Amino acid sequence: MPKGINKVFLIGHIGKDPEVTYTGGGLCIAKFSLATTESVKKGDSYEDKTEWHRIVFFGKQVENYIAKYIHKGDAVYVEGKIAYGSYEVEGVKRYTTDIIGQQIQSMGGKSDDAPKKKAPQDSLDRHLDGDDSSDMPF
């Protein structure tokens, strides 16, 4: 019997181009913000409410797909899990909430004004079906 499920599904827009870095051991990491917006009833009308999520991906999926094809403004589907952490700055403890990405799929750009690289469909399928969780550092 499972002890619990930690699974997140998000559809939103990339806030800025992914920040891609490497660990000392050569593991590729991508971090980016993702905005999700929903309509919330306020009195007799509705207004948009936007939430920002910090997304982190690890491994070959970053090098082979995210670094090449994911850009600011793109609409994407992200599947992953929630991870909580903390760190200390000048004696003050700070807490973090990240989404550790496991799959990502482009849903098109926010604007067609600027040409962008498009992922070939077979490349997209190959990188979405792989389980890069073994590359995660925890």
Write the pLDDT tens digit of every residue in 2-46. Answer: 799 999 999 999 999 999 999 999 999 999 999 999 999 999 999
pTM of the predicted structure, to 2 decimals: 0.75
Task: Give 63-114 pLDDT, tens digit per residue.
Answer: 999 999 999 999 999 999 999 999 999 999 999 999 999 999 999 765 444 4
Question: For residue 117, is pLDDT > 60?
Answer: no
Q: Of all helices (H) and strands (E), which one includes residue 128?
A: helix 121-129
Nearest to 65 by CA among 10, 106, 36: 106
Q: What's residue 33's pLDDT?
A: 97
What is the band of 119 on the pLDDT scale with cuts at 50, 70, 90? low
Tokens (6 digits) for 82: 């929630």
Ramachandran quadrant class, 65 (left: phi over 0; alpha: psi -120 to 50; beta: rest): alpha
Place of tokens 């009195």: 43
Task: Look at residues 121, 136, 16, 124 and name the one whose alpha carbon lies nearest to residue 81.
Answer: 136
Q: Which domains does the chain have, with CATH numbers?
A: 8-36+47-135 (2.40.50.140)
The pLDDT value recorded for residue 108 is 74
pLDDT confidence of residue 32: 98
Q: Which residues contact 138 (CB under 8 A, 6 or more apart)?
A: none
